A and B are shown apart, each in its own frame.
Chain A
Amino acid sequence: MHNIKDVDFLVFVGYEGEKPEPTDVLKSLRATLDDLPEALGYGGRAQTLRGQRRSVHVEFDYEDFHLDVVPALIPDGTDEPLLVPDRQWGKWVDSHPLGYGKALSELNAANHKKVVPLIKAFKHWRTFQMQRNRPKSYWLECLVYRHVDKGWTTTDSKSYAELFTDLLRSIRERFQDKLDNGGVPRVPDPMLGNNVAFNWERSAFESFMRRLDESIGWAEQALGKGQDQLDEAVALWQKVFGEEYFADSPTLRKRQNAEWLRRGSWVASSGAVSVHKPEQEKGVKPRKHGFYGDER
């Protein structure tokens, strides 16, 4: 069971003729949603948060989940971009969450379902590494989408550790020019092409690049460790992701072993799989092969 803490909803708003004012729609939605926690048997309230431009945020007392409800107009059907309000600008802006969801699913399927876990890992990395001025989750999604879609980060034959490290390297490589020569990079929306990180401040971008650089160093060191240096490798990955996310456990150690076994393994007579040649029993080093995909 997934532990869902952050649920985003779209509420389609009907209108005839003139589009309603976004501010009016948000106020009306907030007033309506204020009763939602009580109606569902919880305490809590709805609020429009500063910096949360498109949605009404609903919190439930004593619960560890919340809702973000985004009102949307559908001028041309759900296959086309929707219009969502931006409180700061007081106008409707294009958004294509349904198209993006479909495109992301397709990209994920074409990449051994590694893109969604990569996005999750990247978001966690951001949350752990940056306490202030964090880049928004959607910017990170757009970055991962772009780097995989363009082939700058490839998923074939790569472990998750290698893939994550490659992603960080790829972003650093493409952002380095901006870091050296001033300004902040564009982060295009995969569907609409607009710069989703239009308000990224230079200092926040510099901080992001510093964290990126440090983490690449730790990740590269961890990748270079052998199976007899498991403790060091675990400690390095904990610097990247934190001890809570990368908690040391038999499961984690087995996963780390799995990363090493991709490079080649020995199989003992008992069936024991290891990177080392078995000492107590006969063994075979099987030739390299790839597990073939889901035909079921």
Chain B
Amino acid sequence: MRQLFPQFAYKAGKKPAWYGTLRPTPESPEYRLKLEYWPGKSPKVWVLRPEVHPDAPHRYRDCSLCLYYPRYGEWHPGMFLAETIVPWAAEWLFFYEVWLDDPERRWFGLEAPHGEKKRPR
């Protein structure tokens, strides 16, 4: 993490997590994120600020970002967070900004099909 995203810092404690910032385009604000990862569970990412639009898609009920479809095996514990979850969060922010500007509220990023258990061949 420190090599690829040196602005991310790990804070230990009762609820240890990585905290850091991402700026998906030069015109974007600096987003502050929290990344929580417990072995055996999926990593979770929240945007702490600026506040995300309440209707923003691709988020779970706890407002963490839906960055991949767990059933497709796009992420597994053998992967580095810095090579998957963090850059995926940057992409989420990029597509979120496009979504915000789009009067038709379209999401331009790749989407996992809803309600399907297997990736279509």
For residue B6, CB closer than 8 A to chain A, the reply is: yes
Instruction: Give complex CA distance A147, B105 in Å.
Output: 23
Q: Determine if A272 and B25 form an interchain contact, defined as CB atoms under 8 angstroms apart.
A: yes
Asked if B4 and A269 sit within 8 Å, CB to CB, the answer is: yes
Q: Is B112 in contact with A273, judged by CB distance below 8 angstroms?
A: no
How distant is B65 from chain A, measured CB to nearest CB, in Å?
8
For B104, the chain A residues whose CB sits under 8 A away are 117, 120
Q: Name the segment of A12-20, A93-101, A212-220, A259-267 touching the other chain.
A: A259-267
Query: Could you tell me if B107 and A291 are in contact, using CB atoms closer than 8 angstroms?
Result: yes
Per DSSP, chain A at the interface is: loop
* A254 to chain B: closest residue by CB: B98
> Which 9 pairs across A and B sit closest by C-beta, in order of nearness?
A271-B22, A290-B112, A267-B87, A258-B108, A292-B66, A286-B87, A293-B114, A291-B58, A273-B94
In the complex the two chains form, is A160's CB within 8 Å of B92's CB?
no
Say whether A250 faces chain B, with CB atoms less than 8 Å apart. yes
Q: With an 8 A cutoff between CB atoms, is B49 at the interface?
A: no
Q: Which residue of B lies closest to A255 (CB)?
A: B98
* Least distance between B40 CB and chain A CB atoms (Å): 20
Q: 8 A–B contact pairs at CB < 8 A?
A: A156-B113, A255-B102, A261-B91, A270-B7, A271-B5, A284-B87, A286-B91, A292-B58
Q: Are A289 and B61 in contact (CB under 8 A)?
A: no
Question: Do A286 and B68 touch across chains, with their CB atoms under 8 A apart?
Answer: no
Does A244 touch B at the CB level, under 8 Å? no
Q: Is residue B17 within 8 Å, beta carbon to beta carbon, of the partner chain? A: no
Q: Is the CB of B22 within 8 A of A262?
A: no
In the assembly, what is the distance between CA of A296 and CA of B104, in Å?
20
**A293 contacts B58, CB within 8 Å?**
yes
**Which residue, of A261, A289, A294, has the highest number of chain B Cβ atoms within 10 A?**
A289
**Contact between A255 and B108 (Cβ–Cβ < 8 Å)?**
yes
Q: Which residues from B are CB-within-8-Å of A284?
A: 4, 82-83, 87
Q: Which residues of B contact A273 (CB under 8 A)?
A: 24-25, 90-91, 93-94
- Complex CA–CA separation, A255 to B74 (angstroms): 25
B51 at the interface (CB under 8 A from A): no
Say yes or no: B84 contacts A117, CB within 8 Å.
no
A-side contacts of B36, CB under 8 Å: none
Q: With an 8 A cutoff between CB atoms, is B69 at the interface? A: yes
Chain A residues with CB under 8 Å of B108's CB are 159-160, 255, 258-259, 261-262
Instruction: Pick the contact of B94: A160, A258, A287 (CB < 8 A).
Output: A258
For residue B95, which residue of chain A has the nearest CB?
A258
Digitize B9-46: 1 where CB-to-A-CB distance is under 8 Å, 0 elsewhere.
00000000000011111110001000000000000000
Given A117-B104, A255-B98, A258-B108, A295 and B87 touching (CB < 8 A)?
no
> For residue A116, which residue of chain B has the nearest CB?
B104
A229-259 near B? 1/0 per residue, CB < 8 Å: 0000000000000000000001100110011
Cβ–Cβ < 8 Å partners of B67 in chain A: 289, 291-292
